[in-house]
Amino acid sequence: MTQQTKASPKVSEVIQRLADSGIGFTASHDGPAGMVTVTLTPGQLEMFWSDPPTAFASVYGVSRDDYIAWHAAGYMAQCGNLTARGRRCRNAVVDGHLVGSPDRWLAMNGGYCNVHGEGFS
């Protein structure tokens, strides 16, 4: 069985007709406190047809890779300072536990934890 990579022209037409009639589209994804429901544009719904992470990334204005990294990090924005051994600190940045959206996570990730303050250890 082959996976369809995008919505067919017929499906795209139906999506647009529904949107033109005032029908909205929503989808849900995992988040730090359970499921998060977002509103999709007709174009994002077409993306969702073949690649849900790309559609969700589009909602938040981040790349697909950043959206997936937010999930993989357990929604935690990690300190960007290096330890004495030259490894990245594993602490969360200030207020970086359970960051609610990938765009906010992306902005916070690589900041500094309480131990490293402004990067001076």
pLDDT at position 1, please?
Answer: 38
Calpha distance 87→118 (Å, rounded): 17
Q: In this prediction, what percent of the chain has a pLDDT beyond 90?
A: 83
pLDDT at position 120, please?
Answer: 54
- Say if pTM beats, i.e. exceeds, 0.95: no
The domain limits of the chain are 9-60, 63-121
pLDDT at position 118, please?
Answer: 64
pLDDT at position 2, please?
Answer: 41
Instruction: List, for the chain, all residue ranges whose pLDDT scores fall below the cut of 70.
Output: 1-5, 118-121
Q: At what angle do helices 52-60 and 42-50 cross, to 10 degrees?
A: 150
Q: Where are the alpha helices (DSSP H) in 38-86?
A: 42-50, 52-60, 64-72
pLDDT at position 8, please?
Answer: 85
